[in-house]
Chain A
Amino acid sequence: MRTIADVTRDEVEDFLFLEAELLDEWRLKEWLALFTADGCYYVPATDVAPNASPDTSLFYVADDRFRIEQRVERLLKRTAHAEFPRSKTRHLVSNVRIRSRTTDELDVGAAVITHRTKMGLTETYIGSYRNRLVLTSEGLRIREKRCVLDMDGLKPNGRISIIL
């Protein structure tokens, strides 16, 4: 049986590219299926440490599995006004690296630039992923997705109404 020790950078890269494609095609339920049952998704504020905890610091996004599900449900509704009509987005993922691995988990780093276009305006989110991935019988899955923004606040962006 394959273990976490067998996972290559190519596989991780393919996995991140798949995730980006699902997000850009708004296939959010398929995106949700990439998470483990205890998966979480974080975007810290830009003036806290990249590894800060959402239990003690203010974040932009700190979703447990339930709230990721609710975020997806919301974004698929007409009443999610910030994303109706929905934005066009493009996630560009690069510099993918396996930073370390334990017996059951990969610590993956990547650079990400996401463009969001709506109402004739394009906004850019610049950041990095620090994701914790596990290997299941169905392949790689996300235990923690953390997008750390390399920005001074969200300017000119007014919102993270898409998934970064």
Chain B
Amino acid sequence: MTPAATAEQAAVWHDAEKQRFKVARRSFVSPQILRDEYRTIFDQCWLYLGHESELLKNGDFVTRVVAKRTLLFTRDAQGKVNAFFNACPHRGAQVCRERKGNAKSFQCFYHGWVFGSDGALKSQPASDCYPEDFNADGSANLVAVPCLDSYRGFWFVSFKRDIESLADYLAGAKEWIDVVADQSEAMMTIVGGTQEYQIRANWKLLTENSIDGYHAINTHATYVDYLKNSNGSMSPVPFEGTGYDLGNGHAVIEYRAPWGRPVAQWIPLWGEDGKVELAKVKARLVERFGEARAERIASGNRNLFIFPNLVINDIMAITVRTYFPTAPDAMQVSGWALAPQEESAWARKYRLSNFLEFLGPGGFATPDDVEALEQCQRGFENLLEAPWSDISKGMKKEKVNYDDELQMRAFWTEWQRRTNARAGI
């Protein structure tokens, strides 16, 4: 029934009537497909750069790699947010070599050209050797990224100049970003500290994994054991929820789960004081948004995927995660913790504790995800004889569960539309 994996066959194949959805494993191993992904996806989409809370004061800067470019993300002296290519217009050296900080200007150490945090050339040694109108056209300033825009504090760049607006691009995902951003009245903030790691697997495996409700019971058996062993770590809430296709390749699962949420699902472990505090957090949400939306914000969990490589998982803590492929079988992952700026020291402590219980390379769950992804990549060595992966779960349903695979099909459908990849060579 599944077609042969030929050069004519699309890499993503489905049969709506028979309820089958398959992805060619060549998609995860082919160097040609990776080159096509950079050309048709990473060079064409809005990509997450950073969060507004990372640039609080004028002069704050962060350097970051986005789709192989090295970018300099700044808040300039006027308070405007900018993103530049971190390369001196003179001979190309990176003008900023620090991860983050605060600076009035950036001096390229190679020949000494100096740039403001707005990217403008301020001085160059021996400027009398250049014509007076040398920078009249701005060509000696740092080069700004073609497009830069933000939504609710999340800043994105696009290397494609004539791209649709960020708001249009985000489509149905905006409403879900709102549910996360609305958790703070001041602003959401990135907590200090980045988890950076490499996974020896194709980047799309992490996309699938980040919005996969199906794997938890098996892959994360020891995490569930841990919750059961911890006295009072669970509230009497069953796992249940739904998956949604948000358009443009974005997708989400929203569900209830028994773990504690600092905004705001109480667990006995947090004691009576914690109960009072969380009740206050919840009551304020009700005042601001009404009972139904407050309940959704406080008690719902969301694994939100924004095409092509941003994950905002609002679960027992909130993680913001982005990842880029460096080879068909390798990706670099950056993960941060996001929190309401105004939350109490008590809540922040439990939030970070919750985060580490599950998330990140030292958690009780993520290392098993990494193992699963790397084992998939190993399994793909057999693709000539075993060429297809199956993403069919829940196709026969009118309303899907959070542990079906609709959200992955949304990603793969958009991926196929953009890459036009083939199942074989």
What are the residues of chain A within 8 A of B345 when measuring CB–CB?
55-56
List residues 48-99 of chain A with CB under 8 A from any CB of chain B: 48, 52, 54-62, 66-67, 70-71, 73-74, 77, 79-83
Shortest CB-to-CB span from B247 to chain A, Å, is 32
User: Which of B41-49, B103-111, B153-161, B197-205 lies at the binding interface?
Assistant: B197-205
Whether A158 contacts B199 by the Cβ 8 Å rule is yes
Residue B121 lies at the interface, judged by CB distance under 8 Å to chain A: no
**Does B360 make an interface contact (CB < 8 A)?**
yes
Which one of A47, A83, A155 contacts B193 once the chains associate, using CB atoms below 8 Å?
A47
Q: Does A122 contact B (CB under 8 A)?
A: no
Q: Which of B85-93, B252-260, B362-370 faces chain A?
A: B362-370
CB-nearest residue of chain A to B333: A158
Q: Are B198 and A158 in contact (CB under 8 A)?
A: yes
Q: Of all chain B residues, which has the CB nearest A48?
A: B193
Q: B residues within 8 A CB of A70?
A: 226, 229-230, 364
Cβ contacts under 8 Å, A54 to chain B: 352-353, 356
Per a CB cutoff under 8 Å, which of B99, B194, B330, B367 touches A160?
B367
Question: CA A157 – CA B360 in complex, angstroms?
Answer: 12
Please give me the residue from chain B that is nearest to A75 by CB atom.
B222
Q: In whole angstroms, what is the CA distance A45 to B193 when docked?
A: 6
B193: which A residues are within 8 A, CB to CB? 44-45, 47-48, 52, 57-59
Given A158-B370, A160-B361, check contact A58 B355 (CB 8 Å): yes
Please tell me if the beta carbons of B194 and A45 are within 8 angstroms of each other in the complex.
yes
Q: Which chain A residue shows the least CB distance to B356?
A: A62
A-chain residues with CB within 8 Å of residue B174 when the two chains form the complex: none
Whether B191 is near chain A, meaning CB under 8 Å from some CB there, is: yes
Q: Say whether B219 faces chain A, with CB atoms less than 8 Å apart.
A: yes
Contact-residue size bin, chain A (C-beta under 8 Å from the other chain)? 35 or more
B368 engages A57 (CB within 8 Å): no
A154 at the interface (CB under 8 A from B): yes
Contacts of A61 in B (CB 8 A): 356, 362
Interface residue B135 (Cβ < 8 Å from any Cβ of A): no
**What's the nearest-Cβ distance from chain A to residue B98, in Å?**
11
CA distance A14 to B196 in the complex (A): 33
Query: Could you tell me if A81 and B371 are in contact, using CB atoms closer than 8 angstroms?
Result: yes
B residues near A45, Cβ cutoff 8 Å? 193-196
A81 touches which of B219, B225, B356, B378 (Cβ 8 Å): B219
Q: What's the nearest-Cβ distance from chain A to residue B277, in Å?
A: 16
Q: Measured between alpha carbons, how far is A130 from B332 in the docked complex, in Å?
A: 28
Residue of B whose beta carbon sits closest to that of A82: B367
Q: Is the CB of B368 within 8 A of A157?
A: no
Contact A159 B366 (CB under 8 A): yes
Check A153–B196 contact: CB distance below 8 A. yes
Return the CB mask of B183-222 against A: 1 if under 8 Å, else 0: 0000000011111111110000000000000000001011
A47 CB to nearest chain B CB (Å) = 5
Residue of A nearest to B332 (CB): A155
Indicate which residue in A43, A55, A67, A155 contacts B352 across the interface (CB closer than 8 Å): A55
Check if A6 is an interface residue, CB within 8 A of chain B. no
Interface residues of B (CB under 8 A from A): 99-100, 191-200, 219, 221-222, 225-226, 229-230, 330, 332, 336-337, 345, 348-349, 352-353, 355-357, 360-362, 364, 366-368, 370-372, 374, 378
A residues touching B (Cβ–Cβ < 8 Å)? Answer: 43-48, 52, 54-62, 66-67, 70-71, 73-74, 77, 79-83, 119, 121, 152-161
Not counting A47-B99, A58-B355, A62-B356, a sample of 7 additional A-B residue pairs whose C-beta atoms are within 8 angstroms of each other reads A54-B352, A60-B360, A74-B226, A80-B222, A154-B197, A155-B198, A160-B361
